[in-house]
Amino acid sequence: MVQELKAAKIFGGWNRRYKHKSDVLGCDMTFTVFYPPACESSPVPVLYFLSGLTCTDENVTTKSGIQRKAAEEGIAIIAPDTSPRGLKIEGDSDSWDFGEGAGFYLNATQPKWKQYRMYDYIIKELPSILKQFKELNIAEASITGHSMGGHGALTIGLKHPDLFKSISAFSPISNPISVPWGQKAFSGYLGDDKESWRQYDATELVKGYKGPSRKILIDVGTKDDFLENQLKPDVLAKAAPGTPVSVDLRLQDGYDHSYFFISTFIDDHVSHAAKALKSS
């Protein structure tokens, strides 16, 4: 059962926040949907936005202004939470980059963290819930995200080109097996078998990608404190030539890792999704 928690009108459409019991994660989860005005006349395609470390579903919907361009393009925005919450697993709140708020959009294999299955939640459970909303055409979907959520958008989009018509990302963790954030998360959730980590690494997925051609839009700020040590989008871009994937990596001068940066370029990412959704 899905419960509406609150609603607010914005740019002629509506933000609606919901809560439901997740069978996949074993806890209550929240997500927010922005319904553009166009959905009043017919079902509209959707763009998933996956948020980053420490975030909830409300960060993008309250800070980015994503609704303005989405209303113009007639696209709904789906903003899920970033991890299970309230499971009371020992240590799940000890650090900001692991546990609650840091699900990394994977399916954990370590017994302690077995309920951390954000990958299945995003590609299976959440879409099954969204099917009940007649305003949404979830068969027509694109995906984007920021930081850890950019990692999620890249990996999920590359693994499921049948489900997502386009992929983009802000400041994504692009090669997590080689950076501290990824190594901490993968060793904790997946264990020591580093071969199993590759299935959740966008750079490794690009190297082996065999699906339809994809042009991935990536924006990163040149003043992003995490650019060199955690994100490594250049490594991803270098892996693309010779594959069906092309990477439009845009280094935005002077911008950082914050929602000031995201809000500046969010319209381009909505347009990127809209072009793919409207041509399908």
Q: Which amino acids are annotated catalytic? A: 147, 224, 257
**Nearby residues of 101 by Cβ (< 8 Å), 6 or more positions away:** 53, 54, 55, 56, 82, 83
Chain length of the chain: 280
